[in-house]
A and B are shown apart, each in its own frame.
Chain A
Amino acid sequence: MPENTLHEPPTAKEDGVFLNIPYDQAFEPLYLAYIAGVRAFRLLPRATLEIPGGERRLDRILALICDCRYSFHDLSRVELSVKRPATPRFNMPFELGLAVAWQKFREPTHTWCVFESRTWRAGKSLSDLSGTDVYVHDGSPAGVFRELRNALCWRTINQRLRK
């Protein structure tokens, strides 16, 4: 993140959605589902994939979160890696924490949403989220569509009311 943004928060793009999702082959159907669903709401999917290397990765992630009106955090693959030594994947919960801090302390209009594939798991793995609605997509594209509708329904309603 450029130094001056610490004093002057950048204006988030109204249609930007930061997708905090795992990048692995097994997740490919849900990756496409998120892009399709976000696009259907005429929003712009953003991800760390799009940023060229060079800068420190953490700075790039922060800049991206700050640049987006929404962030969607899919915690369904926060699990131990298959390769030894088995290691939990902390990137996605860490990036969720960055988005929560951004919303709490600098940009109250930023909206973050948590997605999971199983109902009970987020509460167990990240109990700090208790009291937060977790969108459970059951690991299916249809579930992702359903939960994106739930997460963004108020946006649609507001748009209709403004017409």
Chain B
Amino acid sequence: MTAIYQGLRRGLPVIMRNTGARSAFEASVFADLIVLGKALTSQHLH
């Protein structure tokens, strides 16, 4: 969980830049975090 969390923390600024979001609580950011979370889960948990 910690590795996934750290990956999300690293990814959040990139997601916000790419989506032009002003807050982490925008729909597009939430959607991207879920997708990133899935990728990180596959990477860290087998």
Question: Does A pair with B?
Answer: yes
Number of interface residues of B (CB under 8 A): 22
Q: Is the interface of B mostly helix, strand, loop or mixed?
A: helix
Q: Closest chain A residue to B6 by CB distance?
A: A36
Evaluate whether A40 and B45 lie within 8 angstroms (CB atoms) in the complex, with A32-B12, A50-B30 already known.
yes
On chain B, the residues within 8 Å of A98 by CB distance are none
When the two chains form the complex, which single residue of B2, B5, B34 contacts A44, counting CB atoms closer than 8 Å? B34
On chain A, the residues within 8 Å of B23 by CB distance are 23, 25
Decide yes or no whether A14 CB sits under 8 A from chain B.
no
On chain A, the residues within 8 Å of B1 by CB distance are 33, 36-37, 40, 145, 148
B25–A40 CB distance below 8 A: no
Residues in chain A within 8 A of chain B (CB atoms): 23-25, 28-29, 31-33, 35-40, 42, 44-45, 47, 49-52, 141-142, 145, 148
